[in-house]
């Protein structure tokens, strides 16, 4: 089996697009959540909160030919991948078109405006809004496919569309592709674009926050007074590489992936199963050949929902006991297909910086949640050698990734 390391990282979030910028805002306790006045037109939508990426800029070298057939989610994906490849020293390399480089990238869906173009046909019998790019922008594998075209990739394409585990599953599948010797390098991660329709998915389940007059106070993962999740948008990308290849070319190595697992509840589409969450964590530990005591920190899914936080925290306690844990969704909201990749990227940054970022807005821990070492209020200095990053999705799809510090 091959060893797999991370040699490039990048992302786009509501708190910024560089790790230094984001960590400065972490230290300041700054939230990326905003009130969305443009959503007031949807009278039945209870939540008016979201984590929009307001600073997102399309690079000047992206001409109309590049941008014309790509929706926002595809553009965020390609731009984050370009930055990550540059960080890895692989942008423009002949390796990209050799067949030895593939992509595993996911989102819950494509661009919502493209869906509405087909909706206009079905509802009004009017095809005037449909064009040659409508389906390309709408399809769930728009991110992965657009990367293959933009970078000229000839290797594996592994699109993942599994709701909240799209990004983490993509990283896991990319890890396995290199571990098994099928590829030398994989572009991996996930992205999601913001829409009121995305908020409505959870709103009809009564799972969204209605703290519309206090956006900075929500979401509140694991908090006794949490009132639901807030959706966000963004992208995260990790460049995974076979260890010997990375060493040979003198690449900077940020982390090593040493374990991955995914399983399915097989019981309910939206109700989380704590037992299967815990089993997924145990499977990842087995893959990494680790004891639970060797994990120094758990990067939680932590969505701020009533059922999800309890199920996840209880599963984490059963597997690890009293372990340090926090949720970055308290800053960005739930970025759906992007969350696993963004959290992996910033979790690796936490390891390398020796800092554990606290869960924002966690003032009173819900007594129903598991007994864990919840990081609150202040950034905690810590020596973190091994981290687990967990994500759990609609459909009962669970993922656990394990990263090891190499610096």
For residue 55, the model assigns a pLDDT of 81
Tokens matching residue 372: 């864990």
| Residue bearing the bigger pLDDT, 67 or 73 | 73
Dump pLDDT digits (tens) for 84-130: 999 999 999 999 999 999 999 999 999 998 989 998 999 999 999 99
- Asked if residue 21 has pLDDT above 90, the reply is yes
- What is the percent of the chain where pLDDT is above 70? 100
Give DSSP secondary structure letters for 283-334.
HHHHHHT--GGG--EEE------HHHHHHHHHHHHHHHSS-EEE-THHHH-B
Span 250-261, average pLDDT:
98
Q: Assess whether 369 carries a catalytic annotation.
A: no
The size of the chain, in residues, is 407
Alpha carbon of 223 to those of 204, 335, 363, 368: distances in Å?
22, 20, 7, 10
Q: Assess whether 280 carries a catalytic annotation.
A: no
| Confidence at 360, pLDDT banded by 50, 70, 90 | very high
Rg (CA), the chain: 20
Q: Which residues contact 38 (CB under 8 A, 6 or more apart)?
A: none
Mean pLDDT for all residues in the chain: 96
Q: Assess whether 301 carries a catalytic annotation.
A: yes
Number of H helices, E strands in the chain: 13, 16
- Active-site annotation holder among 141, 237, 334, 339: 334
Dump pLDDT digits (tens) for 137-155: 999 999 999 999 999 999 9
- Asked if residue 68 has pLDDT above 80, the reply is no
- Asked if residue 65 has pLDDT above 80, the reply is no
Using DSSP bridges, classify how beta strands 397-405 and 34-35 pair: parallel, antiparallel or unpaired. Answer: unpaired
Using DSSP bridges, classify how beta strands 185-192 and 234-242 pair: parallel, antiparallel or unpaired. Answer: antiparallel
Dump pLDDT digits (tens) for 159-190: 999 999 999 999 999 999 999 999 999 999 99
Fold of 4-405: Peroxisomal Thiolase; Chain A, domain 1 (3.40.47)
For residue 337, the model assigns a pLDDT of 97
Rounded Cα distance between 194 and 142, Å, is: 16
Question: Which of 5-9, 109-113, 121-125, 391-395 is modeled with the greatest confidence?
Answer: 5-9
- Active-site annotation holder among 280, 301, 339, 369: 301
- Asked if residue 289 has pLDDT above 90, the reply is yes
Using DSSP bridges, classify how beta strands 373-374 and 324-326 pair: parallel, antiparallel or unpaired. Answer: parallel
Sign of the dihedral through C-alpha 65, 82, 144, 122: negative
For residue 89, the model assigns a pLDDT of 98
For residue 348, the model assigns a pLDDT of 98
Confirm if 294 and 323 have CB atoms less than 8 A apart.
no
Confirm if 403 and 350 have CB atoms less than 8 A apart.
no
Helical packing angle, 339-353 and 166-179, nearest 10°:
70
Alpha carbon of 150 to those of 25, 45, 62, 145, 199: distances in Å?
32, 37, 11, 9, 30
For residue 57, the model assigns a pLDDT of 82
Backbone dihedral angles phi then psi of residue 135, each to the nearest 5 degrees: -65, -40
Rounded Cα distance between 211 and 358, Å, is: 21
- Active-site annotation holder among 141, 164, 237, 280: 164
């Amino acid at each position: 089996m091959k060893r797999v390391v991370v040699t490039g990282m990048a992302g786009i979030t509501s708190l910024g697009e560089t790790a230094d910028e984001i960590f400065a805002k972490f230290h300041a306790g700054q939230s990326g959540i905003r009130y969305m006045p443009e959503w007031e037109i949807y009278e039945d939508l209870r939540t008016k909160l979201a984590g929009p990426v307001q600073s997102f800029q399309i690079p000047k070298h992206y001409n109309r030919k590049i941008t014309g057939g790509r929706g926002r989610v595809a553009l965020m994906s390609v731009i984050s991948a370009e930055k990550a490849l540059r960080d890895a020293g692989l942008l423009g390399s002949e390796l990209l078109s050799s067949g030895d480089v593939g992509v595993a990238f996911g989102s819950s869906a494509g661009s919502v405006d493209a869906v509405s173009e087909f909706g206009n046909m079905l509802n009004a019998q009017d095809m005037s809004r449909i064009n040659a790019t409508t389906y390309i922008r709408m399809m769930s594998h728009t991110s992965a496919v657009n990367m293959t075209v933009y970078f000229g990739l000839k290797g594996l394409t592994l699109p993942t569309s599994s709701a909240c585990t799209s990004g983490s599953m993509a990283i896991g599948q990319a890890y396995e592709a290199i571990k098994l010797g099928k590829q030398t390098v994989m572009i991996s991660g996930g992205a999601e674009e913001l829409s009121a329709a995305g908020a409505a998915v959870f709103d009809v389940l009564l799972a969204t926050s209605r703290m519309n007059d206090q956006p900075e106070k929500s979401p509140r993962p694991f908090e006794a007074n949490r009132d639901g999740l807030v959706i966000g948008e963004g992208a995260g990308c990790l460049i995974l590489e076979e260890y010997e290849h990375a060493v040979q070319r003198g690449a900077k190595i940020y982390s090593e992936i040493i374990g991955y697992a995914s399983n399915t509840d097989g019981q309910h589409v939206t109700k989380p199963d704590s037992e299967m969450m815990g089993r997924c964590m145990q499977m990842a530990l087995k893959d990494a050949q680790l004891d639970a005591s060797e994990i120094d920190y758990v990067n939680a899914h932590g969505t701020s929902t009533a059922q999800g936080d309890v199920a996840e925290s209880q599963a984490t306690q059963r597997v690890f006991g009293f372990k340090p844990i926090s949720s970055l969704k308290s800053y960005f909201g739930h970025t759906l297909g992007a969350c696993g990749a963004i959290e992996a990227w910033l979790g690796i940054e936490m390891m390398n910086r020796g800092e554990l970022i606290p869960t924002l807005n966690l003032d009173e821990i819900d007594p129903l949640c598991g007994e864990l070492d919840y990081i609150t209020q202040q950034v905690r200095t810590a020596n973190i050698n091994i981290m687990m990053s967990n994500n759990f999705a609609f459909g009962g799809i669970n993922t656990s990734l394990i990263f090891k510090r190499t610096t």
